[in-house]
A and B are shown apart, each in its own frame.
Chain A
């Protein structure tokens, strides 16, 4: 277990090296500006899609018809849904473009990008960390020293790929039924409706519960981790959360180049307001779905 051994060792430097906090804390950049923007846009797009979609899915509930009125009717809802869908496709392709850019600038080759140490693809190490995590949960071992990307972050990342593919393709079919039925039978639209709607329910349910917990609500980060909005995290927290990556960056000397100043309070407040809104909307949608499925199901 070479991975757990360093994790145990890691405890020593943390304890022995007191954090040098004087005045302002030191932060480390974790996300690029593009990534930050894409995530923020994705929040807007995703919540819009979720709200308008769920209104239609649970049209038999009282909240659905009220919200439909609030949003300006089913046609307006349709526009919002499609505009948000276009945004989502935009984000998706921007990210793919960004990956290609990075391949050229950072990794140098596709192989390096896909199979390098910071890869988003699941690796054996992720499996080991997953098992180690389960052990840690059951108090059978120490907390794994997570690296650049944890397995749950990779899961979320690929869930988006899966979602875009499944929800996106079926969504396009429902958007342009007359075009698609030139190639497929009409009942494909019925199948597409079920897949689109249930996959969306899965996505919404997963993001607004599991993802929210994993990133914001888990006690280490509670109540909220705004690293995706600011792009930076305090060095101390970074050391605790991603000991392996910290170690690596320190060794390679990259750490200093990633250091950044924290944002002024006004920016942070704005970011927090946005984040809280998103979080609140997400939870509200979950409550509404729960209500529709438990109390009003038809």
Chain B
């Protein structure tokens, strides 16, 4: 047998092309060969001499393993016509008692194609790298008593498959604990799903079991494009049972989307989550009226904390979720119970439908607070409400643009819980916002397109400005503002300020540094125009100081704006260094820039030093010496005049006294004479 079998196989291979008929013939040949060679090898009886002893056992490692073989059961197995040595090939011709341990049984000798599939699979790969948890053929199929798959008693009969797989893939096993399995509660969820229910409760053996979707031997992760559950293949996998399901769905979901954009269309599992298919989206015979039987009552309260559990139908029916049934959100109901809701163990998870919002929320400051069970962390319902949830276009909705400032203010107003936690520079955020151009536009003018909290901070992905992925991080601010202020972002991104971004620790100014975050004013308002100079001066200290030494600076310092301010010459968003030929102050452009206010300006006129200081003898010697010359003249003249005056004063006083005395004397004389 050892010698013949490979020969026969070789002949078979040579004579037949690979394929299904080949395998069948091969099997037949092998079978005949095995039978004919039976006489040459040990009979089963020889083996059973020892192995029919029920107490026969051996120690493997630390375990004691029974070596008993039940002949009766073996004779019922699919391999009943084979000799022991057909599988335990290393015992062929071996003297009894044979040496131990035996080699592993190679099922692939006969089931070569299955073995190939298995080798490629997750399980096969695990065996290859020596994972002790990896399942071999025997792990699923058993050893000596393997039955036909169609046999209901088979270890891999459809009804048993979930449990075969579940041996490793159910909560709490070493596989779920020690290996990375992306899904949780697989067996539990499956058994509750429509598939599991059909198979396990209703005994519909055509209902899909694990192997129906994952295949039996070629089990691959969904990330592998060859996998039956890969995103690209899932529809085909489902369609093996759900015929023309794609056609049906194309009618339900916008057909154009399906055709135009590849990824717009969801894969089956996006809606029908794997393993818990139906749970979320279908109410399993649970009608809302079943829920309302109790929840319509006004006095119904939670047994835990006594909060009201009353659901007002009118509120629900006017909500965004009017067409959504109770059990779709309150998942986990069991319709067969008197109180179907008693099996609910999870809170409402909005992310099961609103996946993207949920994902963003989890990353946000709000979500992170919720994740650590911080009572300050707002969940979905704090902003969106519960049963009465309304769309953002509905003016009654708390997330309607005009209502958002008030909504955020419930926590972010000064003194409220978020404002108390906050350690940054912004204060009285809501009040300031209300007075800002955005706040006035939104709240006073009712311009619902005006930026409200969420336009800048995002709705779900709210992160502090210090976080690099935050929409209000300095690096991202231009983009955030640019969403509405079209064109400005491009101007800014070409400016020197944007270019210098990231060069130093202290970032160059972005929108909010000049316009502020929450107190944004109209740029044509006097206050803004005057303020901007100190804003520029925060970084450009000396240049701002010298500006205030010139006529332009002095006039603005008096509080008048009809004079050149920083941005009049340098530009605002498109500010560039003077050396840049595109700069408003470049050699080619400077005269034009001056001419904006001084129509007669010439090249010489542009030579006026707009940031001149008389304190720098190196840079501006003319101004320096003029200033000190004038100062010398002033000091000299005042010293001369002052000394002259001070010397004069005592003599003049004396002169006055003498004159007074003389006049008095003259008067007295005059009186006497008279």
Report which A residues bind B (CB closer than 8 A). Answer: 15, 18-19, 55-57, 59-60, 64-65, 68-69, 73-75, 133-134, 136-139, 143, 152, 174, 177-179, 181-182, 184-187, 189-191, 193-195, 198-199, 201-202, 205-206, 209-210, 213-214, 218-220, 222, 240, 298
Contacts and interface: CB of A to CB of B under 8 A. Distances in A.
Contacts of B651: 136-137, 139, 143
Contacts of A64: 558
A210 B634 contact: no
Interface string B644-661: 110111111101100100
B600 A179 contact: yes
B670 interface: yes
Contacts of B637: 202, 206
B544 to A, nearest CB: 12
B656 A193 contact: no
Contact of B559 (A65, A185, A222, A298): A65
A57 B549 CA distance: 9
B623 interface: yes
B649 A209 contact: no
A196 B648 CA distance: 31
Contacts of A189: 608
B558 A68 contact: yes
23 contacts: A15-B662, A18-B669, A56-B558, A59-B557, A68-B558, A68-B559, A137-B650, A143-B651, A181-B601, A181-B608, A182-B604, A185-B604, A185-B607, A186-B605, A187-B609, A190-B609, A194-B627, A194-B630, A198-B627, A206-B637, A209-B641, A210-B642, A220-B652
Contacts of A194: 614, 623, 626-627, 630
A181 B562 CA distance: 22
B105 interface: no
A88 B647 CA distance: 33
A220 B656 contact: yes
Interface in B550-567: 550-551, 553-555, 557-560, 562-563
A88 B651 CA distance: 35
A20 B183 CA distance: 127
Given A205-B638, A219-B652, A55 B558 contact: yes
Given A65-B557, A181-B607, A213-B648, 5 more contacts: A182-B602, A198-B627, A206-B641, A222-B656, A298-B548
Nearest to A56: B554
B622 interface: yes
Contact of A65 (B558, B645, B647): B558
A219 B559 CA distance: 44
B14 to A, nearest CB: 101
B473 to A, nearest CB: 37
Nearest to A11: B662
A290 to B, nearest CB: 12
A137 B598 CA distance: 55
Contacts of A186: 604-609
A198 B634 contact: yes
A44 to B, nearest CB: 23
A192 to B, nearest CB: 9
B631 interface: yes
A19 B666 contact: yes
B407 interface: no
Contacts of B608: 177, 181, 186-187, 189-190
Interface of B is mostly: helix
The 5 closest A-B pairs by CB, nearest first: A186-B607, A178-B600, A198-B630, A210-B641, A137-B647
A107 B111 CA distance: 143
Nearest to A218: B652
B641 A73 contact: no
B609 A220 contact: no
B357 interface: no
A205 B648 contact: no
Given A59-B558, A178-B600, A138 B647 contact: yes
A201 B648 contact: no
B612 interface: yes
Contacts of A73: 560
Nearest to A74: B560
A262 B246 CA distance: 120
Nearest to A197: B630
A143 B655 CA distance: 9
B563 to A, nearest CB: 8
A178 B652 contact: no
B604 A193 contact: no
B633 interface: yes
B555 A187 contact: no
Contacts of A210: 638, 641-642, 644-645
A199 B631 CA distance: 9
Nearest to A69: B559
Nearest to B614: A194
Residue with the highest number of chain B CB atoms closer than 10 Å, among A18, A195, A202: A202
Contacts of B647: 134, 137-138
Contacts of A206: 637-638, 641
Contacts of A69: 559
A178 B673 CA distance: 76
A181 B662 CA distance: 64
A280 B443 CA distance: 53
A69 B558 CA distance: 9
B659 A202 contact: no
B550 A193 contact: yes
B649 A218 contact: yes
A206 B635 CA distance: 11
A177 B631 CA distance: 24
